[in-house]
Chain A
Amino acid sequence: MSMTGSVPGTDNRGIRELGAEEKVGWDQVQQGVVLPSFEGDAADIAHQKAEERHYADFNSYTATVASWRVLKPVYNRDICIDCQNCWVWCPDTSIISRDKQMLGIDYDHCKGCGVCVEVCPTNPKSLLMFNEAEENEEALSEWPQKEKKAK
């Protein structure tokens, strides 16, 4: 991610240093700010998938909150039935669904709340929370077996 000159004081990771911007007097402060979400024409955004859009650096899509996570959801394609429960209830737009299929998790925007795991209806669940430090392959290898329903 790269920042344009309009956002001052960013390092090469694109993270802005607080207080690095030039100070101005009270009478020079701009009243109100307009942040464009996209580069160029954005008239048909509702019909464009995320990968087809031209996000501006101001769009929070270009930022990450991955550092908020302690636990991360891991997705198991083999069990998933594409019900899209996780998609509709994800508060962070982090479930990537295309053409009625669940593709995976957007780890840049996921905060690890665990809602997707709770609403997953399969048995065993096709999404489970694992330690952030654990590799996904390792997590998939220790996936639990089908639980018998207590009658």
Chain B
Amino acid sequence: MAITSIKNLKEFSTSNDRFEGAHLLCPGCAHSMIVRELMNCTDDNLVIGSNTGCLEVSTAVYPYTSWDTSWIHIGFENAATAVTGAEAMHKARKRKGTLKDPDAPVKFVAFGGDGSTFDIGFQWLSGAMERGHDFTYICLDNENYANTGGQRSSATPIGATTSTAQAGTHSYGKKEKKKDIVSIMAAHGAPYVAQLAPNKWKSMAKGFQKALETEGPCFINTVSACTTEWKFDPKDTIHITDLATDSLMFPIYEIIDGHELNILYRPKNVLKVEDYLGAQGRYRHLFKPENKHVIEQIQSDIDKNWEMLQRREEARI
């Protein structure tokens, strides 16, 4: 694979962008930061599929497309299916010798939001992982259905207010915990599964390159801060993501072959989760006295999860 050098940002910046501006994502949206980084970290031809979601509706508004590579959108749930189908066809045509340029390296990538990954496309994604196609699935996790007005998804964390799980006098927002998608995907025995964040650009670029290089189905969950539904100022996208990774709300780690866990980022000063929650409008109600117990629960969940990750890393099983 032709790899773009990511030794430092200066070298990385010589990569030619293949994701064009004038897409209609909100100002400050982390989706496009992640997509740009993926497309910049390789020189290979890319075949990309997108599930319905913010990314798809904003980057292909007729008569415009923001993609400089092959890109397909079909349904809400089946980017994984479409891309693995393209991968199977590519393999078959290579075998039959009907490709125009059989030696040109091609990578297959599917993008989905958290709604289409955790909920609607879960079965299709699981099937694609099980069939063992050579592709990479990247989930842009903004923890709600941001495209349709911020409904709850199974990626929404406990305590967040959404348009269908609203905080008020009788409720503190969503009452259920977030699905642990990374462990679920690792349990498929996938060769490379990771959770990455755009504020740590180097670990993210390294993770993307590893996933693209690895043969077989790879899954990456990326944190995509949503300025509209998380309710923060667009300029603060990277700051909020910093808070997310430093409070360990989103630990950055990878799981190789379903068992070998490596933590990729250990914050020097671990922040209290209040710092992360307090920076966003969707958690404002948790700071009322009657809701304090939710913050305590979130903090204890984070501590337990971090302990579990560290012990799994030590155990190497």
**A residues engaging B (CB < 8 A)?**
6-7, 16, 33, 35, 37-38, 42-43, 45-50, 53, 57-65, 68, 82-85, 87-94, 97, 99-100, 106, 108-115, 117-119
The docked-state distance in angstroms from the alpha carbon of A58 to that of B65 is 6
Most A CB within 10 A of own CB, among B14, B45, B63, B69: B63
Contact assessment for B19 and A88 in the assembled complex, using a CB-CB cutoff below 8 Å: no
Residue in A closest to B74 when the chains form the complex, CB atoms: A32
- The 8 A CB mask of B86-122 against A (1 = contact, 0 = none) is 0000000000000001001000000000000000000
* Closest Cβ–Cβ distance, residue B203 to chain A (whole Å): 13
Q: Report chain B residues within 8 Å CB of A48.
A: 16
- Hey, which bits of chain B sit against chain A, CB under 8 A? 2, 9-14, 16-25, 27-33, 36-37, 42-45, 59-60, 62-69, 101, 104, 198, 201, 227, 233-239
* A65 CA to B32 CA, complexed, in Å: 15
Let me know if B234 and A60 touch, CB within 8 A.
no
Q: Give every chain B residue within 8 A of A99 (Cβ-Cβ).
A: 14
Please state if B23 and A60 are interface contacts (CB–CB under 8 Å). yes
Chain A residues closer than 8 Å to B10, beta-carbon distance: 82-84, 100
Take A82-B10, A115-B235 as given contacts and tell me if A89 and B201 are in contact as well, using a CB distance cutoff of 8 Å: yes
CB <8 Å contact, A91 and B43: no
Q: Which residues of A contact B227 (CB under 8 A)?
A: 113
Identify A63's interface contact among B13, B22, B31, B233, CB under 8 A.
Answer: B22
- Which residues of B sit under 8 angstroms from A91, Cβ to Cβ? 25, 27-33, 36, 237
CB A64 to nearest CB in B, in angstroms, measures 6
Nearest CB in chain B: distance from A20 CB, A? 12
Question: Could you list some 24 contacts between A and B, CB below 8 A?
Answer: A38-B68, A43-B45, A43-B104, A46-B16, A46-B43, A46-B44, A46-B45, A59-B20, A59-B66, A60-B23, A60-B64, A87-B9, A88-B12, A88-B13, A88-B201, A89-B237, A90-B33, A91-B36, A91-B237, A92-B22, A93-B21, A110-B21, A114-B28, A115-B234
The smallest C-beta distance from A42 to any residue of chain B, in angstroms, reads: 7
Give the residue of A16, A61, A87, A93 whose beta carbon is less than 8 angstroms from that of B13.
A87
A109 touches B234 (CB 8 A): no
| B68 partner, pick from A6, A42, A92, A118, beta carbons under 8 A | A42
Contact of B37 with A88 in the complex, beta carbons under 8 Å: yes
Decide: A35 and B65 in contact? CB cutoff 8 A.
yes
Q: Smallest Cβ distance from A24 to chain B, in angstroms?
A: 15
Contacts of B24 in A (CB 8 A): 65
Q: Which of B13, B65, B236 has the most CB of A within 10 A?
A: B13
Nearest first, the 6 A-B pairs at minimum CB distance are A109-B21, A114-B235, A113-B27, A113-B28, A111-B27, A91-B32
| Contact across chains for A46 and B18 when beta carbons are under 8 A apart | yes
Chain A residue with Cβ nearest B61: A60
CB distance from B66 to the nearest CB of A (A): 4
- Chain A residue numbers with a CB within 8 Å of B65 are 35, 37, 58-60
Contacts of B33 in A (CB 8 A): 88-91
Assess whether B22 is in contact with A60, with CB atoms less than 8 Å apart: yes
Q: Is the CB of B21 within 8 A of A118?
A: no
A62 proximity list for chain B (CB < 8 A): 64
A45 engages B69 (CB within 8 Å):
yes
